[in-house]
């Protein structure tokens, strides 16, 4: 049990050292990367909204749901209705 705890504390120490080893250069890189990724994502969302992507996807999903509900209802009706051969 002690070896498990010592291994866990060694991993925690290693991750603490890794965090301390980040330099100012790394922070500057991430400070530039995060807004860039946010901007790219916002542009993609804007493009999808303007081209009607979400309207198309919503329509297709609604059709799939309606189809699966129709199949389910047909299956349940076939189970509930006794067949003439079974009487």
Is residue 48 within 8 Å of residue 54, measured between CB atoms?
A: yes
Predicted local distance difference test score (pLDDT) of residue 46: 97
Cα separation, 45 vs 54, whole angstroms = 10
C-alpha pair distances (Å), 36 with each of 6, 26, 28: 41, 15, 13
Residues lower than pLDDT 50 in the chain: none
Cα separation, 33 vs 41, whole angstroms = 12
82: left (phi over 0), alpha (psi -120 to 50) or beta: beta
**Would you tell me how many other CB atoms lie within 10 Å of the CB of residue 48?**
13
Predicted local distance difference test score (pLDDT) of residue 9: 61
Predicted local distance difference test score (pLDDT) of residue 79: 86
Predicted local distance difference test score (pLDDT) of residue 80: 83
pTM of the prediction? 0.51
Predicted local distance difference test score (pLDDT) of residue 84: 67
Predicted local distance difference test score (pLDDT) of residue 17: 59
Predicted local distance difference test score (pLDDT) of residue 20: 62
């Amino acid at each position: 049990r002690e070896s498990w705890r010592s291994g866990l504390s060694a991993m925690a120490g290693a991750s603490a050292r890794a965090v301390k080893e980040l330099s100012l250069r790394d922070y500057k890189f991430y400070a530039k990367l995060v807004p860039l990724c946010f901007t790219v994502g916002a542009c993609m969302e804007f493009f999808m909204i303007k081209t009607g992507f979400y309207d198309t996807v919503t329509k297709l999903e609604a059709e799939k749901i309606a189809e699966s509900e129709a199949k389910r209802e047909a299956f349940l009706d076939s189970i509930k209705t006794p067949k003439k051969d079974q009487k």
